[in-house]
Structure 1
Amino acid sequence: MQTQAGDDLIERIRTHPADDDIVGPAANDLLSELYAGYPVENLGKLLHSDNEVLVGTGAWLLSELVELAAPMMDEVPALLASPLRAVRYNATAVVLENADERHGPIIAQVMNLSRDPESAVRWKVLEFLTEASIEQLQAGVSCLPPGQMKELAEWLILEDGEEPDLPGIVIRLEAGDPVTRLFAAAAAASLSDEQDTSLLEHAARVEEEEIRSFAQARLSELREDGADPGD
């Protein structure tokens, strides 16, 4: 564990937040130190800063650490509520990798970001809804108040069962409000495979840019996976 090196890198970032030529390389080096055992808790020195660059750097590092960010889950609610788009985006990634049944309120907070004003954040929430485990979704649902969000999350969980409502997914993709279409797109992505991409093709034609781009990316992945290596 190279504590001194990690401390020096954090101090370098804190001292030069406006200098991209310093912050970028230092952040990458700090990421390596964190993977090598430098305590992730020390990122609090960045996350608790009044400087947006420092908070953003800390949030990015957490998102890159995958499961190693778990000790910092108590920091995530504030990050999800950040006024900075990139911080909310990266915090959502941290929740996907680290939340479990103990983190229902945090998962519910992510679900509510499906109404975020920023398309990039909504894209990340769509990824979360597609990739989250049933246990994660159930934990989030248990902390949502009655209303549309809870109903949509409960519906999404049911679509993972043995008899998903495929026509219902199409209807929700073609009609309703943007949040309904986002949840329907998550169901479409979860249920699509190389043999049947029809649901994703519907999602790729909806009005919302984040849904279209997400669906198109998933379609590309499925087509690459299904391609004959000999072609």
Structure 2
Amino acid sequence: MEARTGDALIELIRTHPADDDIVGPAAGDLLGELRAGYPVENLGRLLHGEDEAVAGTGAWLLAELAELAAPMMDEIPALLSHRNRIVGYYAIAVVLENAGERHGPVIAQVLALSRDPESAIRWKVLEFLTEASVEQLEAGASCLPPGRLRDLTEWLVLQEDEEPDASGIITRLADGDPVTRLFAAAAATSLSGPDDMGLLEHAAGAGDEEIRSFAGERLSELREQST
């Protein structure tokens, strides 16, 4: 593809079907332009359109930009609830990279997606719970109403801040509530490392297929690191 400006690349993406072979290279070139200084705010032209696939491309670009997506944080609440769930999937990654203590409401919105009916969204939330900082989790918990979700978030913070409750994690991995199992898997993953994989091994043997799959992937990664 001949060299194009950021504006031209955005227009190319907006006007071509998602399955058009030109969109992939155009998105890649636009990512390069954005990393080189093209204003990230211009992605609003992709995110605000009626075409759901175009919005998905815009959200993917935000996720790939990591901390460079920070100027778009005000857009994230709408993206997390976007009708195209792939947009929400990528928006979770933007929150992980850019949310701070002042972003409690949007972190709480991510935490609430632990109940989402879409398995890919729940997987991304589990990834968020595993990798989020204590400060992010505390900010999110402070914006949740009293109830199970807030209690679970505060419990997860305690696993990071104080002596881990290994028996409590194992018990929660077998709980009848799927959200409780999700938080337990996050704790098991966060507290596991190449030298101590016990909790993650337990999660990898859980009856919940989603938890088992996620933990199995992380366990494989740790075993590679330890060899």
Fold match, TM over 0.5? yes
Aligned equivalents of 1:67, 1:18: Cα separation in 2: 26
- 1:41 maps onto 2:33 in alignment: no
Aligned equivalents of 1:83, 1:204: Cα separation in 2: 32
AA matched with 1:41:
E
Aligned equivalents of 2:209, 2:40: Cα separation in 1: 35
Q: Identity across aligned pairs (percent)?
A: 72
Aligned equivalents of 1:49, 1:83: Cα separation in 2: 12
In structure 2, the residue matched to 1:212 is: 212
User: Which runs of at least 4 in structure 1 moved beyond 6 Å after TM superposition?
Assistant: none
In structure 1, the residue matched to 2:22 is: 22
Contact 1:100–1:135 at 8 Å: present in 2 too?
A: yes
Aligned equivalents of 1:120, 1:128: Cα separation in 2: 12
AA matched with 1:84:
N
- 1:159 maps onto 2:159 in alignment: yes
* TM superposition shift of 1:18: 4.1
Cα distance change, pair 18–158 in 1 and its aligned pair in 2 (3 A): closer
In structure 1, the residue matched to 2:58 is: 58
- 1:171 maps onto 2:171 in alignment: yes
Q: Which moved more, 1:42-51 or 1:205-214?
A: 205-214
AA matched with 2:115:
R
Aligned equivalents of 1:98, 1:115: Cα separation in 2: 23
Contact 1:120–1:210 at 8 Å: present in 2 too?
A: no
SS of the equivalent of 2:79 reads helix
Instruction: Output the TM-score relative to the length of structure 1.
Output: 0.94
Q: Which moved more, 1:37-46 or 1:85-94?
A: 85-94
SS of the equivalent of 1:181 reads helix
* TM superposition shift of 1:220: 0.8
Q: Which moved more, 1:178-187 or 1:210-219?
A: 210-219
User: What is the Cα-based RMSD across aligned positions, in Å?
Assistant: 1.1
Aligned equivalents of 1:8, 1:64: Cα separation in 2: 20
Stretches of structure 1 that go unaligned for 5 or more consecutive residues are: none
* TM superposition shift of 1:19: 4.4
* TM superposition shift of 1:164: 1.1
In structure 1, the residue matched to 2:196 is: 196
Stretches of structure 2 that go unaligned for 5 or more consecutive residues are: none
In structure 1, the residue matched to 2:123 is: 123
- Cα deviation code 1:37-73 (max 9, x no counterpart): 1000000000000110111110000000000000000
